[in-house]
Structure 1
Amino acid sequence: MNRRMFMKASMAFATLSGMSGLSTLFARSAWADADIADGTAKQFDFDVLKKHAASLAKKPYGGAPAPLPATLANLTPQAYNEIAYDPGHSLWHNIDGRKMDVQFFHVGMGFKRRIRMFSVDPANREAREIHFRPELFNYNDAHVDAKQLEGKTDLGFAGFRAFKAPELGSRDIVSFLGASYFRAVDNTYQYGLSARGVAINTFSNGQEEFPDFTAFWFETPKAGDTTFTVYALLDGPSCTGAFRFIIHCEEKQVVMEIENNLYARKDIKQLGIAPMTTMFSCGTNDRRVCDTIHPQIHDSDRLEMWTGKGEWICRPLNNPQRLTYNSFEDENPKGFGMLQTDHNFDDYQDVIGWYNKRPSLWVEPIGKWGKGAIDMMEIPTTGETLDNIVCFWQPAEAIAAGSEHSFSYKLYWSSLPPVQSNLARVYATRTGMGGFPEGWAPGEHYPEVWARRFAVDFVGGDLKDAAPKGITPVIDVSSGTIKQVEILYVEPFNGYRILFDWYPNSPSTEAVNMRLYLRTGSQTLSETWLYQYIPPPPDQRKYIDDRQMHA
């Protein structure tokens, strides 16, 4: 974990919620030196977990976690980072020829939830708990008073991370840490955006909730396997859940098959399925806060959607000056995700964050999800240390107390999504001052009428073949007027740039929704570009000439 990702995880999710009710499923026994799973064996399968989650939802929520020993509660981020799991006690270290292994995160600092861990023998479906003990960790320079931890077998763990050969114990590829957050990498080994088990009331009149994964069960893989299965219990004020993750650690990507079963404790105003959070500070289309040495700063650059009707939609991300929320209605979506499409180092010049290596995350629904919407919230940010973009699927049906809901889907953590449209796709979006011919500038030869220019670049598809027949940009805006539309072939990226200027027709600062696609005759040539532009107030709609002319 680099500094930015650690701080984001530890500080943003410092307030976690309760765990309860597992003692009836699993008992404890004395320590076993040969295996870190020391609990008494009990039968376990996914049906057992689902029944337990359903039963737990009928009981009051357990509330905030119990206080940690002072030596852990008062850790600084730097001290917490010094705590390392002992690889000699990793979960599958005793499997000859193993390709996978798992280690656990220590509780402490902002990670207060005491998560229980279990090892499952897939042959006889027996599970045994892994209890905390100081010997599992190396405390290095963390200055932890280990005497305060002796006998604290109920401390549990904060989360886990998984490794794949040949990087066993050195570079993890999957991490579950904080509330229900988790991440994975592609073959760059560079973490980026995060996923969540569920999102609740992210943008509603109520306070957002962050349910916790409170227990995990790991099926022991066979030697040589690069796929492992983990089950998770979710618990929070408004719902419980039983999750199954089948995690395929492939050569160039990580693919997760997920089934969740959710049980509502109370009415939920907004339930987010397959939620993901990412960071967008500045990019080609939004350079307002890019006063740094870096041309761009973002984990993701766009929301991509493949609708139930087959339309491909690209929505570039913004760092707005005020919180914005958008809902894209759909029925039985084919896929959606937060993408990082620009992997050119020169476009970031960042040797700390390595944004050019960040993976994309694509959601592939399994089965029909029915009616709902892909919701996205964009939060203003002045830096890069916190995620400011949230996206998820919200079912149209009301989530009532006592109801049960199940969703299955795949998550692809990879450089680009596993599927792409055959149509031309959006390559980049750029914005700047407009109101004058391209190649000139506002001044004495042109009226200084304020306008905003947009350049949308398209590549691929049948654009080259369609060019002789004529390419027509179809542009719609929710307010204002479009002028100066141009179509330019751009040889360096072998694509076409659509230029247009937007002129306001009112002093309103309400968001302007823009829509653009390309066609030739009645044939659609490109995916649909959606954009949301927030115009400045009237007193800021002017050109500033800061030249100092002297005789």
Structure 2
Amino acid sequence: MSDHSIHRPGRRAWLRGLLAMGVAAGSARSLSAMASEAVDAETGLELGTAEPFSFETLIQRAEQLAAEPYDPPPRPASEAIQSINYDAAGKIHYRRDMALWRDGPSVYPITFRPLGEYFPKPVAMHVVAGDQARPVRYRPDYFDMPSDSPLRAVPEGTSGIAGFWVHRSRRTHDWFEEEPWATFQGASYFRAVSETGQVGMSARGIAVNTAGEQEEEFPDFRAFWFEPAASEGEPVVVHALLDGPSVTGAYRIALRSRGDTEIEVEKHLFVRKTIDQLGIAPLTSMYWYTETPNVHLRGWRPEVHDSDTLAIWNGAGERLARPLVNPPSHGYSAFADQNPRGFGLLQRDRDFSHYLDGVGYEKRPSVWVEPLGDWGEGQVALVELPTNDETFDNIVAFWQPAGSQLAGSALTYRYRLYWSEDEPFDPDLARAVSLRAGPGGDFGKPRIADTVRLVIGWQGARLESVDPEEAEFRVEASPVGEISNVRVRQVAGHPDRWQTEFDLHVTEDAPVELRGELRVDDEPVAESWLYQYHRQAFREVMP
């Protein structure tokens, strides 16, 4: 992918300078050249000397960096920065008149985010014009903040910038007063909005050993390069350099705002140290509880979650839906595949009355991953961690290529992320929209111990054209579970809504894998339903 004979000395020094001072890559600049730099008239920012830049040279830099020992990013004024909690951060505001492209040429202004308790590592920012890039030099006066703000403890010559926001069009919106439509901050995390304008779950540049035996790593986007979008139909192109103990990467990220958000990613990865579990296109979300029983503490709201379903469109063309769970202990599920067509974490329940909360859970975006090109063999992995509150994300989904990724290897992936209300390629199939539970057995008869009745709600126009009397729900359980009393019925007065139910008898605490298919004349009329049942979580409804 690049010339292995390229001269490598000084690459670690280049990275340290890039991160600490925001200078362009590898430049041996004189003091007189530095002194001649001034505030850029077009951007209002203090910019460094222009350097040649292209995505190809960034790929080369990432490859060269992987050949060097890992050098962690600096954490300037770490004690002071750790004191920038939620309240302290709320008093730090980026100045509108200091926004990149506040007057053009890009239609989408960009503002920068300060260091803080959860974002203690500075990130270098660059502005691209043609084949040249200039580094943004940090100045405290970019921010309005109290005279005693901990951010003022950042030493001179060190950056206090941790991330950035991409704002609405300056031509059609009051962009500074409205919420941004894309944000990048913290390790390799980023978020965007759907047409509802609400943020929710996050994507990541990479996931490393999220559920493996090796220690999990969180590589960082160490630097960004911005290309302007001259019109609302053009993307904002962001280039990013990723660095971590086991992997480096060069990213080209094209962001489009169309009410919903589309983000196209091309990434070139270089493995520094063998990785047992590499996660491509990782999605990160929060699931506390729904109407499905669980043993975790519940709050005053009926449901609390950013996402409720993992959906998969596998390489064989089958559509799968796996409701999320809040497990009693760490959970890991893998769905083997070859050349997947897509997967995503979805927020399917859009009914405000199911949340009764002003934070807009019913408006949280779903995020769908569309692979571009063949991804080969691997699996869609789902990690579910137990939680007792909504503070931290506890759900991760990603594509895991087959096998370990060996040190010295290089990988390239392209994919598109859709931030919308639902998956963008909706099939002519009913969807699983709810899961409820109660005691198993028949009414008027003694309840059966260790038996729960699971009721799945289905919805879709496809159901209006078929007869529920001719339908069959085929449900299977892993060996420790026994299935009985399977039924299918239409919800009275709603021809597009059906329910399937069955009893599940389980006497062990081991997780039970369930799979159900709703068919008419042996043809599927709904997506395949998957679920991981935890007996401990359903004890409150057990006979």
Aligned: 1:163 with 2:167: yes
Q: Specify the alignment match of 2:52 in structure 1.
A: 43
Q: Which residue number corresponds to residue 238 of structure 1?
A: 246
1:502 aligns with 2:509: no
Q: Which residue of 2 aligns with 1:7?
A: none
C-alpha distance in 1 between matches for 2:333 and 2:54:
39
- Match of residue 368 from structure 2: 362
Name the residue aligned to 2:455: 455
Q: Is the 8 A contact 1:427 1:457 kept in 2?
A: yes
Structure 2 letter corresponding to 1:423? L
SS in 1 for 2:161: coil
Task: Name structure 2 gaps, 5 residues minimum.
Answer: 1-13, 19-23
1:270-309 counterparts in 2 under 5 A? 270-289=277-296, 291-309=298-316
Indicate yes or no: 2:420 matched with 1:414. yes
Q: How far is 1:31 from its partner?
A: 2.5
Which residue number corresponds to residue 215 of structure 2?
207
The answer to whether residue 65 in structure 2 is matched with residue 56 in structure 1 is: yes
Residues 1:144 and 1:468: Cα distance change in structure 2 (over 3 Å): closer
- 2:15–2:25: 8 Å Cα contact kept in structure 1? no
Following superposition of structure 1 onto structure 2, how do residues 466-485 of structure 1 map, counting pairs within 5 Å?
466-467=466-467, 470-479=470-479, 480-485=481-486
Which position in structure 2 is the counterpart of 1:549?
Answer: none
Partner amino acid for 2:291?
A: T
Amino acid of the residue matched to residue 20 of structure 1? R
Amino acid at match of 1:404: A
1:141-152 equivalences under 5 Å are: 143-144=149-150, 146=152, 148-149=153-154, 152=156
Superposition pairs of residues 162-241 of structure 1, within 5 angstroms: 162-165=166-169, 166-170=173-177, 171-224=179-232, 227-241=235-249
SS at structure 1 position matched to 2:58: helix
Residues 1:447 and 1:394: Cα distance change in structure 2 (over 3 Å): closer
Match of 2:343 in 1: 336
Distance 1:174 1:262 in 2: 23
- Structure 2 residue aligned with 1:525: 525
**Matched residues, number:** 511
| Alpha-carbon distance in structure 1 between the residues aligned to 2:257 and 2:373 | 23
Q: Aligned partners of 1:243, 1:208: CA distance in 2, in Å?
A: 21
Distance in 2, matches of 1:297 and 1:310, equals 32
Residues 119 and 217 of structure 1 are in contact (CA less than 8 Å); yes or no, is this contact kept in structure 2? yes
Q: Cα distance, 1:79 vs. partner?
A: 0.6
Q: Within 5 Å, give how 1:535-550 maps onto structure 2.
A: 535-536=535-536, 543=543
1:261 paired with 2:268, answer: yes
Cα distance in structure 2, aligned partners of 1:304 and 1:345? 22
For residues 397-433 of structure 1, what are the alpha-carbon distances to aligned partners after superposition, in whole Å with 9 as ceiling and x for unaligned?
A: 4311111000000000111111111122212111222
Distance 1:163 1:541 in 2: 48
Residue 429 of structure 2 corresponds to 423
Asked if the contact 1:282–1:288 (Cα under 8 Å) also holds between the matched residues in 2, the reply is no
1: CA distance, partners of 2:227 / 2:537: 58
1:463 match: secondary structure: helix
TM-aligned CA distance change 1:336 to 1:145, over 3 Å:
closer
Q: Deviations for 1:427-454, whole angstroms, at most 9, x for unmatched residues?
A: 21112221233xx6xxxx4254331110
Out of 385, 393, 406, the residue aligned to residue 391 of structure 2 is 385
* Contact persistence 2:439–2:452 (CA under 8 A): yes
* Cα drift, residue 145 of structure 1: 7.0
Identity %: 36
- Please give the TM-score of this superposition, normalised by the length of structure 1: 0.88
Q: Which moved more, 1:452-461 or 1:60-69?
A: 60-69
Partner of 1:403: 409
Provide the secondary structure at the position in 2 that maps to 1:20.
helix
Cα RMSD (Å): 2.3
**1:175 to 1:19, Cα distance in 2 relative to 1, 3 A:** farther
- State the AA in 1 paired with 2:410: E
Corresponding letter in the other structure for 1:428 = S
